[in-house]
Structures are given as structure tokens and as C-alpha cells.
Structure 1
Amino acid sequence: MKTILFINLRSHKVERIQPLIEAKELGYKVVLVTDKNPNLVSNYLDEIIYTDTYNTDQTLEKVLTYAKENKIDGVCTWSDKDVELVSIIAEKLKLPGINPQIVKNARNKYDMRLAFSKVKGISPKFGKVNNEKNLNELVKEIGMPGILKPVGASGSKGIFKIENSENINETYNTLLNATSPTKDKVYSYYPNEYIYEEYLEGNEVSVEGLVQNNKVFIVGITDKDVTNTFSLEYIAIFPSSKNEEIKEEIKEKAKLAIKSLGINNCAFHLEGRVTKKGFKVIECAARPGGGFITSHLIKMSSGHSFIKRILKMSTGEDISEDWPNFEQGEKKACFYSLMAKRDGIFKMSMG
């Protein structure tokens, strides 16, 4: 029996439990490293290691202590915050994973942009924000509208769209307050580091896949839409309805973007937009996509499990021999989030 280490789980209970179910279907022993009690999933767990996963040294010490008595075959995570921690654990235990020396390319959005900028035509204009004066200079240089965001957050946290020069300073100060590590620990990784970049007009998509032995495997493209304010995702449809020419362009540029980051032996979730000047990359996470894409949409549409391939890759199994065409399913699968305009209780009538 192989033992796989999960570093935390997704926040939504439905997404949280699916990787555990599929790990059990593969016959794996699942050990969860977590900050808190994983409600509703204990029946699927063999062991739990409680620790402060924001504290890398403490977590690493507990994992290495466990590994002295128990063989660990793989390690993975399902969200951005633990990507760097997973790379360190993988290196220490000699497991498949991203090299800790380059993992920042997939976590620090400024470093990520620097890597992307080596590939012609996939990045918007961008600049690092050091202070209020610097931001005003970047807005003049790059133009408006533009996106101001922290370099180390996830889940659309702290994304501000600047459309006129009158609210630049107010927006910057609001961002500083909203991204304080005292309010959310996710900002403790790269505190007070921000990026301003050219706003991309066009339909948003994400590309799902994984990298094994430096080869990029693409599951498919997901059509998405986000709100104009704060870029909150509210719909995702897999597979994409874009025409074949556009899908081919997206996939080829996604592969170049992934390779520019240098990441390996990990899943990825790359986001971008189809603009009038072609496909442009927004950012890329070195973990599976959320929003029910990985946990439900891909399997519902294709009949094939992306999760099982992620788990096999994490434990060193060659996934190239069993890689299906995920985009040839007979149906599309969709996640749609209702955006409430006021407080209240939502009720559905089945009549």
C-alpha cells in the first residue's frame, strides 16, 4: 500500500472530500497534514498530523519525524498557500516535486511575470509596486485600466482594477489595509509586495494539466467568466467551446508559459484571456484548479479522473501510458455560483 501525504485540503467540503475518495479507490493510505480538524472527512483519513502549516520549520520537523517510522511515497496539495511547503518536503524525502530553488516562480506573481516575459507575446505590460509614488508612475507608464494585486495571494483575493487616476492613492491604501497578514495569514508569505499590470480584455479561460519529467500534459481548457469588480469567478464550463484554432493557440502558449516557470512533477492551473492580440496569460498556479473543475467538472464531462492522475504522478507512477483525451466527452459540465445582491436565504422550489 502506498502512502500519500496531503498538505491541507480545499475549503469547500464537496471539493475537500473528492481527492480522499479517489485516493482510497487507488488503495492509498492517506495522511493529512493540517492546521485544524478536517470536518466531515475523518472516515477517509488513516492518520492526521496537526501543525501550523504556515510555520515551515515546525511542519517539516513533524513530517520528517513521521517519515522516520513510516514510508511516504508522495506529497501534494490542493491550494496555492502550501505549494512552497510541498516542494521543500518533496526534496527532503526525495519525492517527485518542484525544485524549491524555482518554486517562487509559481507563487510570487512578480517572479512569475518575469519568467513569462521570456516568452514572446503571452504577457501584458507589468511592473513591481514598491510604494504609492511608484504605483502612480507605473499607471502613467502602463496605462489604464490596470490590475493592482498582491504577489502572493490566491482565490481572487486583493484584486483591484484601476480605471481612473483619481482613485489610485485611495485604492492603494485600501489594498494595504485589506492585505495585512493580521487579517489573513495568506499575505504573510510576501507581505507588502504588489504588482500592477495591464488589464486584459477578452474571454477568460483556464488550462488544466500536469507536468511530469518536464513533459507538459494538458487535460483541457475551461471557459470561465468573472465579475467586473474584484474578478470573482462565478461560472466554469468544461470543456471549452472555443474553436479549434483558438484552443490550439491557448494550449501551445500554455505549454511555453509552463516551461518558462521551470516547474516539474506537479499539477497546474493556468489562467488567461483570449484578447484581440491573441491569448495572454494572467497567472499560473502549481496545483490543481479549484472551482469544482478538478474535483467534478472534468470527470463528469469526460468520464476520466484527473485526480487519480495527479495522485499517481505524486507517487512517481508514469502517467503517460494512461493519458486519455479528456475533451472528447459526450457532455459539458458547468459550475455556476449565484451572486447574491442582498442578505437573505436562498430557496429553491422543486414544483
Structure 2
Amino acid sequence: MTRAFVFPGQGAQTIGMGKDLAEAYPAAKAVFEEVDDALGESLSALIWTGDIADLTLTANAQPALMATSLAAMRALEAEGFGIHDADFVAGHSLGEYSALAAAGALSIADTARLLRIRGQAMQSAVPVGVGAMAALLGLDFATASEVAAEAASDANGGEVCQAANDNDPAQVVVSGHKAAVERAVELAKARGAKRAVMLPVSAPFHCALMQPAADAMAEALARVTVNTPAVPVVANVRAEAVTDPETIRALLVEQVTGSVRWRESVLWMVGHGVTEFWEIGAGKALSGMIKRIDRGAELRAIGTPADIVALMG
């Protein structure tokens, strides 16, 4: 059986995530301690007992979700499952950093610091209220891309509107200037979308408006060591596996303004024999997407000690 480990992105965060892993597995607890040390603050306290509004801030959510995913990986390793039990790893947006850390391409400390910078840079790239994102449900990627392009071209000032996340066959997220995204919602409904809704996000991720954040990440990534991953990483912007460290570095910069090609990434893995996907970390959002992409896929979500017991049983 060919298996992939996949790592969730922003939106999966909950207060208390990973706490039971840290209590059950010393190696999982050590991950949270390493992230706290790298950031010079107790992010773990915020994750476990803080306020959800604070945890949801992009600069906190990104390293927090990575820490939870890596804690789950360490718990799996303690029970005899390791990175070599996967043929590929992949992650959704920030989850790609978790995948790279799990595969040893980045250290946990560097990953935590990179995600803190990434979160802050993405948040500050566009003034609050200028950008927006919307989910278009029931349109395929090609149609959603046409809708985004039409919404952008309708603007007098050359506004941005791009297909940002190709999540599954019936869910595409568009991103850009608020007025253009609002136009895209109306255009999508006219094109037959089942639903088209504005998303409660703090910035327009994965579009050209994120260029200042891409520049910040290029600078930050130039300062860290990127190793060859232990297993190939399926990159968001390529929707295919990569192993070369310098390619990985470049694609992480490109990822900030580029589309998350999740549907294509899953199809690429399926095309290369993957039949089983383990979602490592908080929530089950990716499992739902994968099931809509490939109904025959076998899915496991591993984010708690109970999940690991079930795996072993």
C-alpha cells in the first residue's frame, strides 16, 4: 500500500489541540517546548489555554498548527511509525512547512520562526479591509478562474482577483481586492455556483497582493538550511513531488502569491499509487477534501492519542 502523510493548513486551529499528545508522549511535549524556545514565548500556553481569537491570528495560528502536526509525528514515531512509512508528504499552504519539517528538510525551530515571519508578513502585506477571500462552491477550477479574471477586469483601477485555493472538485477559493472578490461572488452565482460566500479571513492570501510577504519570505528563507527531505514533498504550486533543497526554497517563496493546487496535488499522488492518506495534526478538513477528490482513498486523521491507539488496534 502506498501512503502519503498530509498536513493541515490555517483554519484547523482549536484551543487545546495537541495537549493530550504532549501529556501522553514526552517526544510530543518536546516539540512544543522547542517551538516555545524558538519563538521566545510560550505559544503552547496560548494553544492549550488561551483565547481562540488570539490563536486564530495568522502569526500565531501558523506556528501553532505546525507544532501540533509535528507533535503528532513524534507520537507516531514513539509507537514505531515514522516518516519512511510514507511515500510522499504534502501540506495545505502553511501545512507544506509542517510536511517539510516532518521530512527533515527544515528544523522545527527554523520552521517555527519562518511561520511566525510568514504569518506577520502575510497579515501586514495588505491593510485590513482592503482585501478579501471567498469560497465558490459548485464551480470547477477553470470556471472559478474565469470568474476571478472577469471580476478583476471589471475594476477601473486594475484590481486583483485570483483563484487562490483549488481545494477539491467543488470548492475553489478566490482572493484579492475586496470589491473584486465581492463581484466574483455575484458572478459565480450567475455562473451556477451552489453557494458563493465571503470568508472570515484577515487578509487575501495566495494572490498578487501578497508580494510584500513573498519578498519577506525570500529574505527569511535565504538564511535557513534546507535539507533534502527524507521522502519527496508534493509542492502546492507545482502539484508534483520535489526533493531538491534549492527548488524547495524557491517554491516556498512562490507559494505566498501562488495558488494552492491541492486538488491537483492529491490527484498527482493518487496517480503515483497513493491509496491511503494520513492527516497528521489538528482537524479533518483535508480528509474531507481528499474524499471528494478520490472517493476510493483510505483516510486516517491522527491528532490525538486515541487516534494512535485506533491505528495500532
More helix by share: 2
TM over 0.5: no
Q: Which one has a bigger Cα radius of gyration? A: 1
- Between 1 and 2, higher relative CO (CA 8 Å, sep ≥ 6) is seen in 2
| TM-score normalised according to structure 1 size | 0.29
| TM-score normalised according to structure 2 size | 0.31
More strand by share: 1
